Amino acid sequence: GKIIETSEIKKTYVMGAEEVKALKSVSIEINKGEYVAFMGPSGSGKSTLMNIIGCLDTPTAGTYILNNKDVSDMSENELAEIRNKEIGFVFQTFNLLPRATCLENVALPLIYAGYNKSDREDKAFMALKSVGLEDRVNHKPNELSGGQRQRVAIARALVNDPSIILADEPTGNLDTKTSYDIMSLFHELHQKGNTIIMVTHEDDIAHYAHRIVRLRDGLVETDEINPNPTTNN
Ligand code: ADP
Ligand code: ADP
């Protein structure tokens, strides 16, 4: 079934007398379990669209239905709740807390979700195990390689069992081999049924996705199935 449906969403930023039409009219449907890459030149609206899909921001016009709920006009508090439940975020810069261990970093979203400490630790451990880091639970981020840090961030994104994983340039700070390792992990997550949307400007990374959407000047330029996605196998 459909998990995301945007209908003619627009986003206009007003800065003094100037208006920037970051999204002019974007209608896009994504089904549960899809693996989609957003591409497009700098300034084409990728981050704006990801922010709206991730409920970090709302559109100026149009509707956004997430998991059968209209989130277009929700308040900041309602959006925060939806985000915690539905979205796992992965960033280019990992965004880990430097003084916290891997286990503590991964357990963080569970505090907001209201789990007790022992459940948080159990779930965080399982998430770290699922990304192959069960022997790094007590390490701090600076004791890990870049690839391992991103895997911790992915474990944190997965720990709440979100409906969607949103990854903004997840390999942007990684060397080529490590990038492919992270893409292997995404491939596995997709095989397990996760819905993944990632932004990338790298063709070889986008080629792991099963569908590639290209934005240009705030519009969808092309939206194509990738007939032969990379798998690393
Ligand atoms: P991309 O991620 O593809 O580089 P963005 O969504 O970041 O594109 O930006 C689309 C357009 O909106 C750009 O012209 C950018 O300058 C503008 N923009 C993005 N965020 C803001 C903001 N918070 N305030 C004003 N303009 C913005
Ligand atoms: P990856 O292939 O995941 O990027 P590396 O090849 O960079 O990992 O690292 C190999 C091993 O070295 C890993 O098991 C990691 O724990 C360890 N390691 C890497 N950087 C550090 C560090 N700064 N401090 C301690 N151990 C490290």
pLDDT per residue over 119-160, tens digit each? 999 999 999 999 999 999 999 999 999 999 999 999 999 999
Edge-to-edge order in the sheet of strand 164-168: 87-91, 164-168, 195-199, 35-39, 211-216, 219-225
- The gap between the terminal CA atoms of the chain, to the nearest Å, is 28
Confidence (pTM): 0.88
| Residue nearest to ligand 1 atom 6, measured at CA | 45
CA dihedral sign of residues 205, 65, 189, 141: positive
**Ligand 1 pocket check for 52: Cβ under 6 Å:** no
> Mean pLDDT score of the chain, rounded to an integer?
96
Cβ atoms 137, 102 nearer than 8 A = yes
Q: Which ligand is nearest to the CA of 15?
A: 1
- Could you give the ipTM of this predicted complex? 0.73
How does pLDDT run across 60-111, given as a tens digit for each residue?
Answer: 999 999 999 999 989 999 999 999 999 999 999 999 999 999 999 999 999 9
> Which atom of ligand 1 approaches the CA of 47 most closely?
2
Tokens found for residue 178: 């490590």
The amino acid occupying position 50 is: M
The CB of 19 under 6 Å from ligand 1? The reply is no
